[in-house]
Structure 1
Amino acid sequence: MKKRTPLNRKRVLTDPVFEMSRQNSAEFSRACRANRLLRRALILGLRNKADRYISGRLTKTMFKILQSDPVSDRGERSVPKGVIGILKDFNFNRDTSLQNVLKAPYSIIINNEASRATISFPSIIPQAMIDTASGANAFMLSAMAASVNFEKETFPVEPVQTDILDLDLQRHENLQLQLPVIEHQPDNTVIVALGIEFFLNNRGSIEPVDKKHNALAVVKVF
């Protein structure tokens, strides 16, 4: 009969046999913190757009970023030292991706001197450039530019949105979202998220549709 080896917390924390487990645990915890920080930064945009599995999906993405850290040893890797650009195109609603719903061309410019990011839509033709599978007849664009410091866990952000716009209108011209980049520092990462939300406008009575049709995604990482 084999002698049973007691497994206790002290052994897990000190025994060299568990070194890799300790490293994995430490890095996973950092990925979880980065996930929570970004969700807190974008909370106002997530309320009507995120799916129920967002936490797990975002942690997985943050862990990929952490693993891309080229300078730190295993167990010491961190999100800020990784390739944070991996976040680009991350969709917060797994049921509806922004790329599939909103096909209108747009540009994103950041002005460091003015501490502002600008998302510009030269022209939106709703019937051709917006997926209307939701059955809605109105939509609203929203965006935010969060200046995130993953080490200090700060993320000042101010959301901006358009008016509720008519999906039946032939064309919307020169739409711009001017996003303030608040308290930006050299060590911070500016994460720009763009979203679309759908509504039913019944003779002036505005009702939201099921949030599974809405979308929010990271569209730029500076």
Structure 2
Amino acid sequence: MAKKKTAIVNRRRVLTDPVFELTRQNNAEFTRACKANRLLRRAFALAMLNKADRYVSGRLTKTMFNILQSDPVNGRGERRVTNGVLGILEGFNFNRDTSLQNVLRGPYSVTINHDITQATISFPSFMAKAMIETTSGANACMLSGIAASLSLEEETWPVNPVQTDKMNIILHPREPLQLQLPVIEHKSTNAIIIALGIEFFHEIHGGYQPVEKKHNVLAVVKVFPANEV
């Protein structure tokens, strides 16, 4: 019997053969999701210190791909993250071991001013003992926030993270608390992505000893899409 000749699959064929059209579409969209993941992680690099797990890149790429798939404008292979439902990012935790939803039990709001120069995370009545839950035995914490104006397609991300002083969880008084986050070089085509983080410490004789990174949290708490700012 004659042996059937096997077609050779090479890069040129994958790039041109109609048989591989679906593969080309998937690769193009996956590449865009990876780029959006990379841009957000680079923008949030300072905020992610001591708060992100080692698998965050893969998890974030998956989330970006879900956003890309929600693009109602373009067809398969041409869909983009910037046209998708960016609100899917809200609630994303950079640390898979601990979520902001489990650590922070009090109410807060996220607003942005009319000039789009500052976002504010407001706690109307913040009492650390009642609102902060930690499994590490830490007795001190520090809140941080970041607001980034991003297109998720361009290599620009000027940001300025803001953080509170370290506060004793047991002794901190009940009081209003605000994180006022500058929004730098905003463009009308950019979305504004805001994250809130909590880092824990052991306060010993006036000094602060960091706890294991797995107990700290950072999560996206609000996304203002370009057409809603």
- Into which bin does the TM-score normalised by the smaller protein fall? over 0.9
Aligned equivalents of 1:170 and 1:176: distance in 2?
A: 15
Please give the alpha-carbon distance, in whole angstroms, between the structure 2 residues aligned to 1:172 and 1:127. Answer: 9
> More deviation in 190-199 or 1-10?
1-10
- Structure 2 counterpart of 1:150: 152
- Aligned partner of 2:77 in structure 1 is 75
1:39-54 to structure 2, matched below 5 A, reads 39-54=41-56
Looking at structure 1, the residues matched to 169 and 79 of structure 2 have their Cα atoms a distance apart, in angstroms, of: 46
Residue 126 of structure 1: how far off its partner (Å)? 2.4
- 3-state DSSP class of the match of 2:82? coil
Deviation, 1:170, is 5.5
Query: 2:59 aligns to what?
Result: 57
Shift of 1:152: 2.1
Report if the CA contact (8 A) 2:53-2:97 is conserved: yes
Name structure 2 gaps, 5 residues minimum.
Answer: 225-229
Instruction: Detail structure 1 runs of 4+ shifted over 6 Å in the superposition.
Output: none
Q: CA deviation at 1:114?
A: 5.7
1:150-189 pair list within 5 angstroms: 150-169=152-171, 171-189=173-191
Report 1:1-222 matches (<5 A): 1-113=3-115, 115-169=117-171, 171-222=173-224
Q: Could you list the per-position Cα deviations for residues 11-66 of structure 1 after superposition, in whole angstroms to 9, with x for gaps in the alignment?
A: 01000000000000000000000000000000001111000100000000000000
- Give the structure-2-normalised TM-score: 0.94
SS at match of 1:196: strand
Query: Percent of counterpart pairs with the same letter?
Result: 67
Q: 2:144, 2:163 within 8 Å by CA — same for their partners in 1?
A: yes
* Distance (whole Å) between structure 2 residues aligned to residue 172 and residue 13 of structure 1: 62
Greater Cα offset, 32-41 or 131-140: 131-140
CA distance in 1, matches of 2:198, 2:35: 27
Which secondary structure does the structure 1 equivalent of 2:129 belong to? helix
**Kept in 1: contact 2:36–2:153 (CA 8 A):** no
> Is contact 2:95-2:214 (8 Å) kept?
yes
Structure 2: distance between partners of 1:122 and 1:173: 8
The one-letter code of the counterpart of 1:197 is: E
Bigger mean CA offset, 101-110 vs 21-30: 101-110
In terms of mean alpha carbon deviation, does 66-75 or 111-120 score higher? Answer: 111-120
1:111 & 1:177 partners in 2: Cα distance?
13
Could you tell me which amino acid in structure 2 is paired with residue 200 of structure 1? Answer: H
Q: Pairwise CA RMSD of aligned residues?
A: 1.0
Q: How many residues align?
A: 222
Q: How many Å apart are 1:76 and its aligned residue?
A: 0.6
Is the Cα–Cα contact under 8 Å of residues 123 and 171 in structure 1 kept in the other structure?
no
Q: Deviations over 1:136-166 (max 9, x none)?
A: 0100000000001223232111000000001
> What is the alpha-carbon distance in structure 1 between the residues aligned to residue 125 and residue 108 of structure 2?
9
Amino acid in structure 1 at the alignment position of 2:189: D
Query: SS at the partner of 2:83?
Result: coil
Once residues 116 and 84 of structure 2 are traced to their aligned partners in structure 1, the CA distance between those partners, rounded to angstroms, is 28
Partners of 1:6 and 1:71 lie apart in 2 by 36
Q: What is the one-letter code of the residue matched to 2:209?
A: E
Report SS of the residue matched to 1:109. Answer: strand
Specify whether residues 170 and 159 from structure 1 end up closer, same or farther in structure 2 by C-alpha distance, changes over 3 A only.
closer
Which residue identity does 1:83 align to in structure 2?
A: V
- Paired letter, 1:103: R
Tell me the TM-score normalized by structure 1: 0.97
